[in-house]
Amino acid sequence: MSPADTGEGAGNTAYGKKPFKRSRSHFADRITADGRDGWPVEAGRYRLVVSRACPWASRALVVRRLLGLESALSLGVTDPIQDDRSWRFTLDPGGRDPVLGIRFLHEAYDKRETGYPGGVSVPAIVDVPSGELVTNDFQQITLDLSTEWKDHHRPGAPDLYPEALRDEIDEVAEGVYRDLNNGVYRAGFATGQEEYEKAYGDVFRRLDLLSERLRDQRYLVGDTLTEADIRLFTTLVRFDPVYHGHFKCNRNKLAGDPVLWAYVRDLYQTPGFGDTVDFDHIKRHYYGVHLGINPTGIVPAGPDLSGWHEPHHREQLGGRPFGDGTPPGPVPAAEEIPAAHRA
């Protein structure tokens, strides 16, 4: 996410007169098994840089964990508060990423293209030997982790993008992206009433359609977890803490929809989902950075997060979360979310 392409900027940079429009990823090279773009899959060569606040980066966190790619693709986590110089590695000793040796993510962008005029977004994958950005294509990164990195998946890794279901997954994900993933931003950064009400309507129309779809089936496509569920989860988990109030998507909270509230709790309680969520980072970023919307920078104390662990009873619908595979193992100690930041 960046000031230029997502509204996730510092100060008022995200708040202008034009309708909100998300830019396409500028660096769309792919890391593939055959290395056709010049970036072959190699364990240990690349570093995934994320903000735990960002829903687009959180997709990559969930997929990496479910597939067991922790040892093959290292992880850098930025401070949830970026400044005009981009995402900062202030969470690391000395304020530098311990692998890349940089203080700001823009340094990897500059290595790739000097004077790049666009925003510095996450997720980003960086080539460790050269220090260059490889890709910031958040739509493709997770698909490639599922399909191109198979030789490095853990034993028992689920198939998150099964070939027989790809058309349906893509169709469902496109509607979710257009109306919900991106729709909440269109509502939040709207500069006119009509623009806002159109986005607001799209958000809740899609939520209603999803609620109906999930009423009698546990997952969005098929009877196992897929890429479609991951893309929906990262928006739903932020809905009540952020989008309901901060982005004025306030017809009702997610907790007011029995189907979607049970569905997202089911996912949150599934290894690989909730154990990647940092509610503290999420709230501090949105409320502390979007000063055009929240000029005081005050971060709300709520909502109460205890309900995330209540029984969801979605297992009664059947389904096999990991298909023929198994759940991921424990979170690596260095990547554990602090207890105070979890539900």
What is the side-by-side strand order in the sheet with 74-77?
Answer: 74-77, 46-50, 124-127, 132-135
d(CA 214, CA 216): 6
For residue 132, count other CB atoms closer than 10 A to its CB: 17
Active-site position among 54, 200, 219, 268: 54
If DSSP states are collapsed to H, E and C, what string results for 176-221? Answer: HHHHHHCHHHHHHCCCCHHHHHHHHHHHHHHHHHHHHHCCCCCCCC
Q: Is 185 annotated in the active site?
A: yes
Question: Are 195 and 19 a contacting pair, CB within 8 Å?
Answer: yes
Question: Are 298 and 247 a contacting pair, CB within 8 Å?
Answer: no
Active-site position among 46, 109, 185, 200: 185
Phi, then psi, of 246 in degrees rounded to 5 = -65, -40
Q: Is 249 annotated in the active site?
A: no
- Angle ∠(286,58,278) on CA atoms, nearest 5: 60
Catalytic residues: 54, 185
